[in-house]
Structure 1
Amino acid sequence: MFQEATYGQPSRFTPSPPDLAGGSLNEGFSPALRRGPLPFGATAAPNDEVMNEMIDSGSAAAAASPGKWHVIQEELKNNPVSGEDFEAKVRRAFDMYHDDTDLMFKFLNVYSRIEKCEKWTETRTSLSKSKTEQYNPDAPAPGSSNGRRNSDEKKLKDLKKMGHPLRPSHSLPMDRSRYYYSAAPVGTGMGPLAGQLGEWLCRAVQPPAPTPCGSPGGPPVTARRVRLRDGRHLAYEESGVPRETARFKVVFSHGFTGSRLDSLRASPEVAEELGVYMVGFDRAGYGESDPNPARSVESAALDMADLADALGLGDKFYVVGFSLGCHAVWGALRYIPERVAGAAMLAPVVNYWWPGFPAELAAREYGRQQRGDQWALRVAHHAPGVLHWWMEQTWLPLPTSTVVANTTYLPNKRDAEIRRTLTADGTLRNKREMATQQGIQESYYRDMAVMFGKWEFDPMALPEPTKGCPVHLWQGDEDGLVPVALQRHVAGSLGWVNYHELPGTGHFLSAVPGLGDTVLRTLFG
């Protein structure tokens, strides 16, 4: 029914760690000038003369240089790049901190450091209430005896290793600074006043508590829900043929701003003909599903498995995702491959920090976004603990996320018309109210932190699923939200993904006439 465009498959290779902030390794460095107060623990970068001396003298000079720039040696040791001489490595390290130190970058770094405070409980760290005690990163947090995910322990170890909350060598397109931000805790060595200020800022960036459905003061429970193994509830909606008589059983993961009511919009006749049962669910924190402060790519996949078990869908089931909800599909292929009978992804959102993307390609596509969207993703990736604070600051001289505001430029005419219609009749407003009724932090902002945060795996490095497990990916070539160039690279990196590019099509694929039927026939026909 749809004509698929052809394109050249990109070659597979392993790119070097990205330097996506722009600039050349061999560009000149002007003297470091202070353009305002330095953030907590910051020291100015060395000027040209010092840098050249370091390059000429080798690692010994680097270790002896002022301003704790010996940390660069550790950074290079932990993140080596083959084929580079010492000069190139030092220049690359200096390039991380080279810029005009604009105000927004200072905000990002300062509040990224403060994020440690806001996240102390979750990352097994604590701040002493005494003004004379020092911050102890190894002190267990209250409640830590209850156990945490291994991923939390890994994140803490990585944090302690890198000595810097942003880990600049892996930071994606971001403005660089002339300053080196040391790893000194907010309350250490700066006196009681700084410690008190840090604690006050911690409280200021703390997001409001969610209001779960069915709790005192919370929204009522109106949907059918199942209880998961960890005690949370998941709201769901069924469609297609009865599950008891179905030949194929599908779990559908909705996109950003979506709900359990979203579906493929396949015709009842086709679903009946093929014997397809489908169940959509409110992802954690959305609609009437309980929030999950520990939400991750892995937990999204496990939620689907728990839902399938609660409904008796059997040992294997199909997973289908739309837009940002496809992170749950990638998670299923990674964490529960034995449960997946097949998978389909429609316009899956990509993470610009996935290691499999060529640096130049990711930087180019990242830079095509509006500045507000770029900064929202930077904060979501580097400082997720302050994302709620960032998104709510209307006084910032940067525009907010156009995706959250539903104002993103949509090059496809059908997409633009759909948005105009849904805005005019109030549908988008109603969808937002439904999705965020338990709090925007645990729905929209948690979604952003999970999707654009630090993944534990690279989808482009996933092994091929077992025989008989088809994986299909549909993408419009006029998508204004997901760069088609990056999607092509994902498909080209995974030979087992069946890629379907739809010419003249945008992002809202569920609204494309007949596509839902095509997806079902492709999977099951």
Structure 2
Amino acid sequence: MRSVTLPDGRALAYEECGDPDGVPFVFMHGIPSTRMAARMIHAAAVRCGVRLIAPDRPGYGHSDPCPKRTLLDWPTDVAALADALQLLEFGVLGVSGAVPYLLACAVAMPQRLTHVAILSGLGPLREPGVMDGMNRETAALYRLALRSPRLGRVWMTMLAATAKRSPLLVYRQQLSYLPEVDRAVFDNPELRTLRLDDFAEAFRQGVDGASWEARLHMTDWGFGLEDVGLDVFLWQGELDRHHPVAMGRYLERALRGARAVFAPEVGAFGFVGRMDSVFEQLLDVPAHGRELAAAARPA
């Protein structure tokens, strides 16, 4: 684990995995999660020549909190991290609740991004029909939080307290919501341990980071999906019950440059065992950030 000092004095923690000489991607974790989630795809990144730079967002893991931050504050942190690593251009890749953070970067700094990729993405939750096919327990919690942000915070606080006391209990509860194809992913003891450690790390500083992000996700993002001018690669498992196909289809329609892959017979974590193919499909698309940004600049 390393860190950089941001212009406002905060520490931003990150770690690297994959091929250190590979194509650079900033990996963005879900909610609640941390930089450690990138380790799930380390081996595939090595094989495919991808360098993963995985920061903890503010309030998670070892990154300092940033009270009252907005989604559009995140690109500034990412740009500072890239500057510290002397990266002029890079891709962004994220999972689940990372969607608004990836897209905020695409809106705020398109000229620096070579690729934008979403795996098992959790998009805007207020759109009609996007929770169709979601497991009942998760959908009920999201609807509760949408109706009452205060109750949403209570839910996240209880989750954090339980996770700090017994991460295994929360892990088993979450696993019970998954289809069999996803539960089978965690038959691998290394992945199971990683998932537990990542969950505990997410609440190292308490609940504030995760609860604020839950609020950000469920309120206005500060930009529209129509504002995203870059191509976006979407990968979605057809058996995913946390981020159902209806969510993926909505993102595919709403993002004008979307290129979607809907993988049959796999769920939310199906990408873990298929990352070689995912990276190959992703890297097969020519880098586009520079060209699109140049076209958008005034003469």
Deviation at 1:364, TM superposition (A): 4.7
Q: Which residue of the partner structure matches residue 174 of structure 2?
A: 406
Specify whether residues 364 and 343 from structure 1 end up closer, same or farther in structure 2 by C-alpha distance, changes over 3 A only: closer
Q: Is the 8 A contact 1:236 1:279 kept in 2?
A: yes
Query: How is 1:41-190 mapped onto 2 (pairs within 5 angstroms)?
Result: none
The superposition leaves residues 390-440 of structure 1 with CA deviations (integer Å, 9 ceiling, x where unpaired) of 54579xxxxxxx9995255222x2212335666996554432221111112
Residue 282 (1) aligns with residue 56 (2): yes
1:454 corresponds to which residue? Answer: 220
CA distance in 2, matches of 1:423, 1:251: 23
Q: What code does the residue aligned with 2:223 have?
A: F
CA distance in 2 between counterparts of 1:426 and 1:317 reads 30
1:249 aligns with 2:24: yes
Q: Give, in whole Å, the separation in 2 of the partners of 1:425 and 1:348.
A: 21
Cα distance in 2, alignment partners of residues 519 and 339 from structure 1: 22
Cα distance in 2 for residues equivalent to 1:524 and 1:393: 41
TM-score by length of 2: 0.78
Residue 96 of structure 2 corresponds to which residue in structure 1?
323
* Cα distance in 1 between the residues matched to 2:125 and 2:171: 16
Pairing of 1:286-435 with structure 2 (within 5 A): 286-314=60-88, 316-353=89-126, 357=127, 359=128, 361-362=129-130, 364=132, 369-370=136-137, 373-379=139-145, 381=146, 383-384=148-149, 387-392=152-157, 406=174, 409-411=177-179, 413-419=180-186, 427-435=194-202
**2:120 alignment partner AA:** A
What secondary structure, in the 3-state scheme, does the structure 1 residue paired with 2:106 have? helix
Deviation at 1:238, TM superposition (A): 1.4
What one-letter code is carried by the residue in structure 2 that aligns with 1:479?
A: D
Aligned twin of 1:491? 252
How far off is 1:288 after superposition? 0.8
- Structure 1 CA distance for aligned equivalents of residues 270 and 78 of structure 2: 22
Counterpart-to-counterpart distance in 1, 2:122 and 2:261: 15
| Aligned CA distance change for structure 1 residues 363 and 424 (closer, same or farther; 3 Å) | closer
Change (3 A) 1:422 1:287: farther
Q: What is the CA-CA distance between 1:321 and the residue it aligns to?
A: 0.7
**1:322 match: secondary structure:** strand
Output the CA distance in 2 between the equivalents of 1:324 and 1:482: 10
SS of 2:35's equivalent? coil
Counterparts in 2 of 1:335 and 1:424: CA distance versus 1, 3 Å: closer
Aligned length: 271
Residues 426 and 252 from structure 1, CA distance in 2 versus in 1: closer, same or farther, beyond 3 angstroms? closer
Structure 1 length normalisation: TM-score?
0.47
**For the structure 1 residues 269 and 259, does the alpha-carbon distance in structure 2 shift closer, same or farther, using more than 3 Å as the test?**
same
Give 1 or 2: higher strand fraction: 2
Q: 2: distance between equivalents of 1:319 and 1:448?
A: 21
* 2:13 equivalent among 213, 232, 235: 235
**Contact 1:491/1:499, CA 8 A, preserved across alignment:** yes
Q: How big is the shift at 1:250?
A: 1.0
* Counterpart contact for 1:376–1:391, Cα < 8 Å: no
Secondary structure of the corresponding residue to residue 261 of structure 1: helix
Match of 1:175 in 2: none
User: How large is the RMSD of aligned CA atoms in angstroms?
Assistant: 3.0
Residues 94 and 102, structure 2, Cα contact 8 Å, conserved in 1: yes
CA contact (8 A) 1:318 1:341 kept: yes
Residue type of the partner of 1:259?
T
Aligned equivalent of 1:130: none
Distance 1:390-1:497 versus aligned 2 partners, 3 A rule:
closer
| Change beyond 3 A, Cα 1:435–1:278 | same
1:267 CA drift (Å)? 4.7
d(CA) in 2 for partners of 1:426, 1:516: 20
Deviation at 1:485, TM superposition (A): 1.4
Q: CA shift at 1:256, angstroms?
A: 2.4
Once the two structures are superposed, residues 324-357 of structure 1 have per-residue CA deviations (whole angstroms, 9 ceiling, x without a partner) of: 122211111122222212111101112221xxx4
Amino acid at match of 2:67: P
